[in-house]
Amino acid sequence: MPGSKTKITEQVTAKAGTMYNDYRFGDFNYGSARERLDPGFFEFISMVKNDKKVFDIGCGSGYWLNVCVREGIPKENITGVDLAPSNVEELGKKGFKAVCSNVLKLDLNDDVSDFTICNGVIHHTNDPFKAFGELVRITKPGGYIYLNVYNIWNPYFYLVHRAMFPLRFLYWNVSKKIIDFVYPLAGIFFQPLAYLAMGRFLDERTGKAFFMDQVITPRAHLFSKSMIESYAKRKNCIVEKFAYNRYFLMLGAIIKVES
């Protein structure tokens, strides 16, 4: 019989799978502004040489997979992995190798990846350290991981996630229709911020995907540099570089898996 942590972890995974399947995260109407906001990612993929294998774990609708191709990484060397079947199906139609799998128990062999991307994913699981262990397991010794996670020092998450607990509770336990009422009201606050940050208002699809990702998500763990360093040390890895992304919302790290 599964223990209570295992049970909660399974519930969180199931909720995330349903949510991201319905509200697909990745390609948004503010377009390439995403790239400007994630300089750490470009530093990471500039390290990829042509014959190297790249895996994007929790790739969403594949925004970063397309960037990899545009930056010269051959499509056949790239694999996208996501929990949401809708993302995997769409990526398959676009000619990407795509696998539906859970970052907590990846359906991939050891040492398959040279460069592993995991952008905005492990903080949504119930066990981020286990997820990190899976990233290390699939990455070859001497390979690299790009980890991008919520930054503990940004007050944003205390306001939009922690303080919104009652709304989240109602959504998951009472009725999912609550979003239809709350989302237009929330727009009064977040649309001006989006305009300031991204130079345009968000269309409904983009806005809702963000709203679900940041407010309704069952888990939003927050990370400091020392927490990432501790994860790395426990898994025999070295953090080579940190970078704050998306206006200090995210903490990115380039991590080397030791030989």
Ligand X SMILES: C[S@@+](CC[C@H](N)C(=O)[O-])C[C@H]1O[C@@H](n2cnc3c(N)ncnc32)[C@H](O)[C@@H]1O
Binding mask 40-59 for ligand X (x = CB under 6 A): ------------------xx
Label residues 135-170 b or e (16+ Cβ within 10 Å = b).
Answer: bbbbbbeebbbbbbbbbeebeebeebbeebeeebeb
Number of residues lying near ligand X (CB under 6 A): 23
**Measured CA angle at 210 (ends 207, 216), to 5 deg:** 120
Which residues have a Cβ under 8 Å from the Cβ of 152 and sit 6 or more positions away?
222, 223, 224, 227, 251
**Would strands 54-57 and 113-119 be described as parallel, antiparallel, or unpaired?**
parallel
Residues 113 to 132 in contact with ligand X, rule: CB under 6 A: 119-121, 124-125
Pick between residue 63 and residue 211 the one whose CB is nearest to ligand X.
63
With binding defined as CB under 6 A, does residue 161 bind ligand X? no
Q: Of these, 9, 79, 102, 206, which contacts ligand X (CB under 6 A)?
A: 102
Nearer to ligand X among residue 84 and residue 145 (C-beta): 84
Build a one-symbol-per-residue string for 11-30: x at contacts with ligand X by CB under 6 A, - elsewhere.
Answer: --x--x---x----xx----
| Cα 155 from Cα 213, distance rounded (Å) | 17
Within positions 208 to 227, which residues make up the interface with ligand X, using CB under 6 A? 213
Which residues contact ligand X (rule: CB under 6 A)?
Answer: 13, 16, 20, 25-26, 58-60, 63-64, 82-84, 87, 102-104, 119-121, 124-125, 213
